[in-house]
Amino acid sequence: MGISNILFIVLLAGAAFLFYRNFGKIVRNIKLGKDLDRSDQSDVRWKTMARVALGQSKMVTRPIAGILHILVYIGFVIINIEILEIVLDGVLGTHRVFAGFLGDFYVTFINLFEILALLVLLACAVFLIRRNIVKIERFWKPEMKGWPASDANYILFIEILLMSAFLIMNAADTVLMNIPYEDISATSLAHYGETGLVNPSFVVSDFLIGWLPNDPNTLAFIERACWWFHIVGIFAFLNYLVISKHLHILLAFPNTYFSNLYPKGRFDNLASVKKEVEMMFDPSIDPYATPPADENPAPVTFGAKDVSDLTWKQLMDAYTCTECGRCTSVCPANLTGKLLSPRKIMMDTRDRITEVGNNLDKNGPDFKDEKLLVHDYISAEELWACTTCNACTDACPVNIDPLSIIVDLRRYLVMEQSAAPAELNGMFTNIENNGAPWQFSMADRLNWKDEN
């Protein structure tokens, strides 16, 4: 085992450990959310995941972005097979370990990977153009300033670099593998002639050969440099996921599996409120009775003021959001210039749960900062602009539900802070007093019968 194998194994183990630890923190943060049972109808859930996440069914409603995204996605999934070979080569100190097994098929596979790599590269270039030159509106909303904009560009740059490295590596390797074996058999380049491939050439990288130098040792240096850059880049990218919107490539799957399967119009009935209301309606219950000792005495908050009042699914939604802004671009409030942006609701929720998690790590479980999701991150003005129309939940390619968070925060404003807009308080009073949102007498409910 050479020094490079050991270095590789150390890097692989380090990257895996770091990812395990940081992703574990995200899972821990998601579990800070409240219970919600989404264990039912597993057959429907698998199908939803297959259709929406694996099949990208909601991406193609916007054909250009949708098709380009599918290219990058297929490229990503399939090129991972090649990464398996790279990891094996790295660990075992082999060169193109699959070539010996697959023979002619190997070249076909690499050709396929190369075509995909080229398509991914082009798609990422178009994505960069759409964001930075065409300046598509949804990428330039106020919440996209700073880190979110850089994050998106970094991801695209990294993918372009990784794909380029893969193609340049193959080009250099092609030249080396085609050197007559007797010319290199006694040198350190011998393994390039021992793959078992006969005069290999690859469909995309062949076009790059002309730009490369001729000297075999320089070529070997380029091949190794690209190989290391590619695989170390992937290790780094894996660990970049946990601080990036790009985490959607993993969480899209569980997030669509745990989708809301009810009709979108249905809002949950708050269980804490139900208990109180049932007590009002049940004359046999003594409201002054001491609650049984085993009952949890922790005070309940009606609605949500902070991330820990949200469910684990709402927090998973926040970590799954890739900030594409399709929700915001169809939001009637946002379209008409209001402050509300459903994407910002998700980004704020993620920023806040990340902050809460970091506090937990730094200061222990009893630490409370003075901040809340509502007011400190999401303003009442944003919340009151929502028409609950469900355009955002329909538009989301990974079934995120910003609306449920908006409603939970409204519940807190109304039931805990009595902070509804004055007109809505008037509407509540009317419903309470005369069973209609307007000031009409219940006795007049049937007057329409005789009016023409």
- Counting contacts by CB under 8 A, is residue 34 touching another protein? no
For the bound state, the minimum distance from the C-beta of residue 258 to another protein, rounded and expressed in Å, comes to: 19
For the bound state, the minimum distance from the C-beta of residue 416 to another protein, rounded and expressed in Å, comes to: 10
Give CA–CA dist 93/253, Å, rounded: 34
* Choices 33-41, 77-85, 306-314, 424-432 (CB under 8 A): range interacting with another protein: 424-432
Among 385, 396, 400, 405, binds another protein (CB under 8 A): 385
16: which 2 tokens?
A: 């895996």
Pinpoint the alpha helices (H) of 294-435.
312-320, 326-330, 332-335, 342-363, 380-384, 391-395, 402-411, 422-434
- Counting contacts by CB under 8 A, is residue 303 touching another protein? yes
The answer to whether residues 384 and 409 touch, using CB atoms and an 8 Å cutoff, is no
- Counting contacts by CB under 8 A, is residue 372 touching another protein? no
For the bound state, the minimum distance from the C-beta of residue 326 to another protein, rounded and expressed in Å, comes to: 11
For the bound state, the minimum distance from the C-beta of residue 45 to another protein, rounded and expressed in Å, comes to: 18
Nearer to another protein, 110 or 383 (CB): 383
- Counting contacts by CB under 8 A, is residue 435 touching another protein? yes
Give CA–CA dist 349/406, Å, rounded: 11
Nearer to another protein, 238 or 415 (CB): 415
Task: Compute how many residues bind another protein; rule: CB under 8 A.
Answer: 70
- Counting contacts by CB under 8 A, is residue 137 touching another protein? no
For the bound state, the minimum distance from the C-beta of residue 245 to another protein, rounded and expressed in Å, comes to: 24
Contacts of 305 (CB under 8 A, 6+ apart): 372, 373, 374, 409, 412, 416
Give the three-class secondary structure for 290: coil
For the bound state, the minimum distance from the C-beta of residue 112 to another protein, rounded and expressed in Å, comes to: 36
Torsion sign (Cα): 242, 244, 250, 255: positive
For the bound state, the minimum distance from the C-beta of residue 343 to another protein, rounded and expressed in Å, comes to: 17
394: which 2 tokens?
A: 């329909």
Give CA–CA dist 316/136, Å, rounded: 27
- Counting contacts by CB under 8 A, is residue 101 touching another protein? no
Nearer to another protein, 165 or 398 (CB): 398
Among 2, 263, 283, 297, binds another protein (CB under 8 A): 263
Instruction: For residue 62, count other CB atoms closer than 10 A to its CB.
Output: 16
- Counting contacts by CB under 8 A, is residue 415 touching another protein? yes
Dihedral of the alpha carbons of 328, 334, 338, 343, in degrees to the nearest 10: 0
Among 212, 238, 339, 360, binds another protein (CB under 8 A): 339
Q: Which of 118, 113, 104, 119 is nearest to 86 (CA)?
A: 113
The radius of gyration computed from the CA coordinates of the chain, to the nearest angstrom, equals: 29
Among 340, 346, 356, 405, binds another protein (CB under 8 A): 340
Give CA–CA dist 93/65, Å, rounded: 40
In the complex, which residues of this chain contact another protein (CB under 8 A)? 61, 262-267, 269-270, 273-274, 276-278, 280-281, 302-303, 330, 332-333, 335-340, 381, 384-391, 393-394, 407, 409-415, 420-421, 423-424, 426-428, 431-432, 435-438, 440, 442-449, 451-452
